[in-house]
Amino acid sequence: MRMKAIASGSNGNCIYINGGNTHILIDAGISCKRIVTELRNSGVQPEKISAVLVTHEHSDHTCGLKIFLKHYKCPLYGTRGTLEEIADADIKAEIPGQVYTPIVLGEKFTIGELEITPIHTYHDAADPVAYHVRYGEQSLAVMTDTGTFTPDIVDALKGVNGLLLESNHDIRMLEIGSYPYPLKRRILSDHGHLSNERAGELLNTILHPGLKFILLGHLSEENNYPELALLSVKTEVDTADNGYRSEDFTIDVASRYEPSAMYEV
């Protein structure tokens, strides 16, 4: 299996995952041109994309959908609430109705050779999810846009071999920053975003020897730094009483501006 963050941040998100001969995108929150360019730079023809899966309807996860689906006619997967929000916003009906493919929270479905499980997340959207993707004995997950995590989320992520995990903000930077107070409250709420420290706490619950890489994503441009996110998460791991050290794992940060490396498990 392979994963690449084409983009990850509060200004746009798009994650590529491959298992066998099946290629998918999770979210399309950047331009179609950028998606296509980065796919081709990775040796993947965009015509090979089997489906686009959306986590939720916010524009930083969906703004490239219309053009991508116009040129590369593949199914669009999401929860019914998410798809209804996308359809309602598509005033000109540029996304054909037949591409909408509803999924049910917690129910596994297959796309080609991939088995996918949507995981409920806690965010101020209609019906948001994360995704656990399995190919044979290997699995990857994309977990962003959740203000908190629960035992169900922990259980869903246990055993993954690679993970893109939200590490959105530094709490102190957010609190003293320029955001309006209501926006700060929203981000800090249980339906907002995971802080660096909370990302580290979640990571500590799922560490195991088969976890090959952790990619920290969806960083805030104004309330975080890549170096700070990395240091904070590594510190959480190093100070936890779980027998692991941060150097036991590959922990990197996904950029909002540049694609990540291609990670393999």
What domain count does the chain have?
Answer: 1
Q: Please state, rounded to an integer, the average pLDDT across all residues of the chain.
A: 97
Residue 21 within a domain:
yes
- DSSP lists the bridge partners of residue 25 as 16, 52
CB distance 62 to 29 below 8 Å: yes
CB distance 80 to 102 below 8 Å: yes
Q: Of the candidates 214, 221, 129, 215, which has an alpha carbon nearest to the alpha carbon of residue 169?
A: 221
Residue 263 within a domain:
no
Residue 169 within a domain:
yes
Segment 214-233 mean pLDDT: 97
Q: Which residues contact 237 (CB under 8 A, 6 or more apart)?
A: 200, 203, 204, 207, 244, 245, 246, 249, 251
Query: Tokens standing for 128?
Result: 């948001």
Q: Which CATH number fits the domain that encloses residue 84?
A: 3.60.15.10
Residue 261 within a domain:
no
pTM, two decimal places: 0.97
Residue 131 within a domain:
yes
Residue 256 binned pLDDT confidence (cut-offs 50, 70, 90): confident
Per-residue pLDDT tens digits for 62-94 = 999 999 999 999 999 999 999 999 999 999 999
Per-residue pLDDT tens digits for 101-140 = 999 998 999 999 999 999 999 999 999 999 999 999 999 9
* Packing angle of the helix pair 226-239, 196-206 (nearest 10 deg): 40
Residue 262 within a domain:
no
3-state secondary structure of 176: helix
Residue 264 within a domain:
no
Residue 121 within a domain:
yes
Residues in the chain: 265
Per-residue pLDDT tens digits for 28-37 = 999 999 999 9
Structural domain harbouring 240: 2-255
